Amino acid sequence: MPEHAVPAPGGIDTDAAASVSPASLRDEPLDVEIVDSSLVYHGRVWDVRNDRFRYGDHDLERQYVDHPGASAIVALDDEERVLLIQQYRHPIRHRDWEIPAGLLDMDGESPLETAKRELAEEADLGAEHWESLVSVFSTPGGNDEVVHIFLATGLRSLDTVHDREAEEADIRIEWVPLADAVTAVLEGRLRNGILAVGVLGAAERLRRTES
Protein backbone atom coordinates (compact mmCIF):
# COMPACT_ATOMS: atom_id res chain seq x y z
CA MET A 1 0.00 0.00 0.00
CA PRO A 2 1.38 3.50 -0.80
CA GLU A 3 2.74 5.37 2.18
CA HIS A 4 -0.16 7.85 2.42
CA ALA A 5 -2.96 5.56 1.21
CA VAL A 6 -6.04 5.26 3.42
CA PRO A 7 -7.34 1.70 3.76
CA ALA A 8 -10.99 1.13 2.89
CA PRO A 9 -13.30 0.76 5.93
CA GLY A 10 -14.40 -2.75 6.79
CA GLY A 11 -17.28 -4.04 4.69
CA ILE A 12 -16.57 -1.78 1.71
CA ASP A 13 -16.38 -3.60 -1.62
CA THR A 14 -13.20 -2.00 -2.94
CA ASP A 15 -13.30 -4.01 -6.16
CA ALA A 16 -16.74 -2.58 -6.97
CA ALA A 17 -15.56 0.92 -6.14
CA ALA A 18 -12.53 0.53 -8.40
CA SER A 19 -14.79 -0.43 -11.31
CA VAL A 20 -16.11 3.16 -11.60
CA SER A 21 -14.09 4.79 -14.35
CA PRO A 22 -13.43 8.54 -14.29
CA ALA A 23 -15.63 9.04 -17.36
CA SER A 24 -18.58 7.20 -15.79
CA LEU A 25 -18.43 8.98 -12.41
CA ARG A 26 -21.65 10.97 -12.43
CA ASP A 27 -24.95 11.41 -10.60
CA GLU A 28 -27.57 8.97 -11.85
CA PRO A 29 -31.24 9.95 -12.35
CA LEU A 30 -33.76 7.47 -10.99
CA ASP A 31 -37.51 7.39 -11.67
CA VAL A 32 -39.42 6.09 -8.68
CA GLU A 33 -43.14 5.43 -8.41
CA ILE A 34 -44.85 8.43 -6.80
CA VAL A 35 -47.75 7.00 -4.82
CA ASP A 36 -49.05 10.40 -3.70
CA SER A 37 -47.90 14.01 -3.94
CA SER A 38 -49.54 16.91 -2.13
CA LEU A 39 -48.90 20.63 -1.66
CA VAL A 40 -48.10 21.39 1.98
CA TYR A 41 -47.39 25.10 1.60
CA HIS A 42 -47.62 27.54 -1.29
CA GLY A 43 -45.05 30.30 -0.94
CA ARG A 44 -44.28 33.53 -2.75
CA VAL A 45 -41.03 32.14 -4.18
CA TRP A 46 -41.21 28.37 -3.68
CA ASP A 47 -43.54 25.67 -2.39
CA VAL A 48 -43.25 22.76 0.04
CA ARG A 49 -44.48 19.36 -1.16
CA ASN A 50 -45.08 16.03 0.57
CA ASP A 51 -44.35 12.96 -1.57
CA ARG A 52 -45.05 9.32 -0.79
CA PHE A 53 -43.07 7.06 -3.10
CA ARG A 54 -42.07 3.44 -3.57
CA TYR A 55 -38.38 2.71 -3.01
CA GLY A 56 -37.39 -0.92 -3.12
CA ASP A 57 -39.95 -2.81 -1.06
CA HIS A 58 -41.02 0.19 1.03
CA ASP A 59 -43.24 3.24 0.77
CA LEU A 60 -41.32 6.30 1.98
CA GLU A 61 -42.59 9.81 2.73
CA ARG A 62 -40.53 12.96 2.35
CA GLN A 63 -41.22 16.69 2.46
CA TYR A 64 -39.08 19.02 0.36
CA VAL A 65 -38.93 22.50 -1.10
CA ASP A 66 -40.17 22.56 -4.70
CA HIS A 67 -37.72 25.09 -6.13
CA PRO A 68 -37.62 26.74 -9.59
CA GLY A 69 -33.81 26.59 -9.75
CA ALA A 70 -31.35 29.44 -10.17
CA SER A 71 -28.44 30.83 -12.14
CA ALA A 72 -25.31 32.41 -10.68
CA ILE A 73 -22.36 34.25 -12.16
CA VAL A 74 -18.63 34.30 -11.48
CA ALA A 75 -17.78 37.64 -13.10
CA LEU A 76 -14.01 38.03 -13.62
CA ASP A 77 -12.35 41.23 -14.81
CA ASP A 78 -9.08 41.49 -16.73
CA GLU A 79 -7.10 41.51 -13.46
CA GLU A 80 -8.66 38.19 -12.35
CA ARG A 81 -10.75 39.91 -9.71
CA VAL A 82 -14.16 38.41 -8.94
CA LEU A 83 -17.28 40.45 -8.33
CA LEU A 84 -18.71 39.81 -4.86
CA ILE A 85 -21.96 41.15 -3.44
CA GLN A 86 -22.77 41.45 0.25
CA GLN A 87 -26.40 41.58 1.35
CA TYR A 88 -28.58 40.65 4.31
CA ARG A 89 -30.03 37.11 4.37
CA HIS A 90 -32.64 36.72 7.08
CA PRO A 91 -32.59 32.91 7.60
CA ILE A 92 -28.90 33.03 8.59
CA ARG A 93 -29.00 36.54 10.19
CA HIS A 94 -25.91 37.53 8.24
CA ARG A 95 -24.86 39.95 5.56
CA ASP A 96 -23.02 37.24 3.67
CA TRP A 97 -20.83 37.59 0.60
CA GLU A 98 -22.26 36.09 -2.56
CA ILE A 99 -21.84 36.05 -6.31
CA PRO A 100 -24.68 37.53 -8.42
CA ALA A 101 -27.53 35.04 -8.71
CA GLY A 102 -31.25 34.80 -9.33
CA LEU A 103 -34.19 32.46 -9.70
CA LEU A 104 -35.28 30.76 -12.89
CA ASP A 105 -38.69 32.34 -12.49
CA MET A 106 -39.29 33.83 -15.96
CA ASP A 107 -41.25 31.65 -18.37
CA GLY A 108 -39.21 30.59 -21.39
CA GLU A 109 -35.96 32.04 -20.06
CA SER A 110 -32.89 29.77 -20.27
CA PRO A 111 -30.38 29.56 -17.38
CA LEU A 112 -27.90 31.59 -19.46
CA GLU A 113 -30.48 34.29 -20.16
CA THR A 114 -31.28 34.42 -16.46
CA ALA A 115 -27.57 34.81 -15.66
CA LYS A 116 -27.26 37.71 -18.09
CA ARG A 117 -30.35 39.39 -16.63
CA GLU A 118 -29.17 38.95 -13.05
CA LEU A 119 -25.71 40.36 -13.75
CA ALA A 120 -27.36 43.43 -15.26
CA GLU A 121 -29.90 43.83 -12.47
CA GLU A 122 -27.53 43.27 -9.54
CA ALA A 123 -24.35 44.90 -10.83
CA ASP A 124 -25.31 46.96 -13.92
CA LEU A 125 -22.85 44.89 -15.95
CA GLY A 126 -22.83 42.97 -19.22
CA ALA A 127 -20.24 40.49 -20.48
CA GLU A 128 -18.83 39.64 -23.89
CA HIS A 129 -17.93 36.04 -23.07
CA TRP A 130 -20.08 33.49 -21.24
CA GLU A 131 -19.34 29.86 -20.51
CA SER A 132 -20.91 27.22 -18.35
CA LEU A 133 -18.72 26.66 -15.29
CA VAL A 134 -20.48 24.12 -13.07
CA SER A 135 -23.95 23.17 -11.84
CA VAL A 136 -24.88 21.98 -8.36
CA PHE A 137 -27.77 20.54 -6.37
CA SER A 138 -27.80 23.08 -3.54
CA THR A 139 -29.44 20.90 -0.85
CA PRO A 140 -30.47 17.53 -2.33
CA GLY A 141 -31.84 16.23 0.96
CA GLY A 142 -34.21 19.16 1.37
CA ASN A 143 -35.03 20.71 -2.01
CA ASP A 144 -34.82 20.05 -5.73
CA GLU A 145 -32.96 23.25 -6.63
CA VAL A 146 -30.32 23.14 -9.36
CA VAL A 147 -28.00 26.13 -9.58
CA HIS A 148 -26.30 26.77 -12.93
CA ILE A 149 -23.07 28.74 -12.45
CA PHE A 150 -21.58 30.64 -15.38
CA LEU A 151 -18.20 32.30 -15.90
CA ALA A 152 -18.53 35.80 -17.36
CA THR A 153 -15.54 37.70 -18.79
CA GLY A 154 -15.04 40.70 -21.05
CA LEU A 155 -17.12 42.78 -18.67
CA ARG A 156 -18.59 46.18 -19.50
CA SER A 157 -20.70 48.72 -17.64
CA LEU A 158 -24.26 49.15 -18.87
CA ASP A 159 -25.94 52.49 -19.48
CA THR A 160 -29.00 51.50 -17.44
CA VAL A 161 -28.72 51.64 -13.64
CA HIS A 162 -31.27 49.37 -11.99
CA ASP A 163 -33.29 50.38 -8.96
CA ARG A 164 -32.90 48.02 -6.03
CA GLU A 165 -35.21 47.55 -3.07
CA ALA A 166 -35.68 45.54 0.14
CA GLU A 167 -32.49 43.59 1.04
CA GLU A 168 -30.89 44.64 -2.24
CA ALA A 169 -31.28 48.36 -1.48
CA ASP A 170 -28.02 48.49 0.49
CA ILE A 171 -25.98 45.76 -1.20
CA ARG A 172 -22.23 46.25 -1.13
CA ILE A 173 -20.25 45.43 -4.26
CA GLU A 174 -16.52 44.66 -4.18
CA TRP A 175 -13.93 43.41 -6.68
CA VAL A 176 -11.76 40.85 -4.91
CA PRO A 177 -8.71 39.02 -6.31
CA LEU A 178 -9.86 35.50 -7.11
CA ALA A 179 -6.98 34.00 -5.10
CA ASP A 180 -8.08 35.99 -2.03
CA ALA A 181 -11.67 34.78 -2.41
CA VAL A 182 -10.44 31.17 -2.63
CA THR A 183 -8.38 31.65 0.55
CA ALA A 184 -11.36 33.15 2.38
CA VAL A 185 -13.49 30.14 1.41
CA LEU A 186 -10.86 27.63 2.54
CA GLU A 187 -10.38 29.48 5.82
CA GLY A 188 -14.12 29.47 6.52
CA ARG A 189 -14.53 33.25 6.30
CA LEU A 190 -16.85 33.05 3.28
CA ARG A 191 -19.50 30.36 3.73
CA ASN A 192 -22.04 30.91 0.98
CA GLY A 193 -22.19 27.59 -0.84
CA ILE A 194 -22.79 28.93 -4.34
CA LEU A 195 -19.96 31.43 -3.95
CA ALA A 196 -17.64 28.67 -2.72
CA VAL A 197 -18.40 26.36 -5.63
CA GLY A 198 -18.16 29.24 -8.10
CA VAL A 199 -14.83 30.72 -7.06
CA LEU A 200 -13.19 27.31 -6.53
CA GLY A 201 -14.46 26.17 -9.91
CA ALA A 202 -13.23 29.33 -11.61
CA ALA A 203 -9.80 29.04 -9.99
CA GLU A 204 -9.49 25.44 -11.15
CA ARG A 205 -10.67 26.36 -14.65
CA LEU A 206 -7.95 29.03 -14.87
CA ARG A 207 -5.33 26.66 -13.49
CA ARG A 208 -6.13 24.05 -16.12
CA THR A 209 -6.15 26.68 -18.87
CA GLU A 210 -2.76 28.05 -17.84
CA SER A 211 -1.06 24.67 -17.26
- Residue 168: active-site member: yes
Which residues span the domain enclosing 56? 14-65
Per-residue pLDDT, 1: 46
Task: Give 65's strand partners.
Answer: 48, 143
- Give the CATH number of the domain where residue 201 resides: 3.90.79.10
For residues 74 and 82, the answer to whether their CB atoms sit within 8 Å is yes
Tens of pLDDT along 72-110? 999 999 999 999 999 999 999 999 999 999 999 999 999
Q: Are strands 70-75 and 146-157 parallel, antiparallel or unpaired?
A: parallel
Provide the domain count of the chain: 2
Flag whether pLDDT at 167 surpasses 90.
no
| Contact assessment for residue 99 and residue 73, using Cβ atoms and an 8 Å cutoff | yes
Number of residues that make up the chain: 211
Q: Assess whether 129 and 158 both reside in one domain.
A: yes
**Same domain, yes or no: 78 and 114:** yes
> Residues 114-123: what's their mean pLDDT?
94
Residues 50 and 138 in one domain: no
Question: What is the Cα–Cα distance from 198 to 175, expressed in whole angstroms?
Answer: 15
Q: Which of 131, 145, 168, 174 is the catalytic position?
A: 168
C-alpha dihedral, 51 to 56 to 59 to 64, nearest 10°: -20
For 146-159, the pLDDT digits (tens) are: 999 999 999 999 98
28 and 117 housed in the same domain: no
Choosing from 65, 88, 104, the residue where a domain stops is 65
pTM of the model: 0.86
Same domain flag for 58 and 23? yes
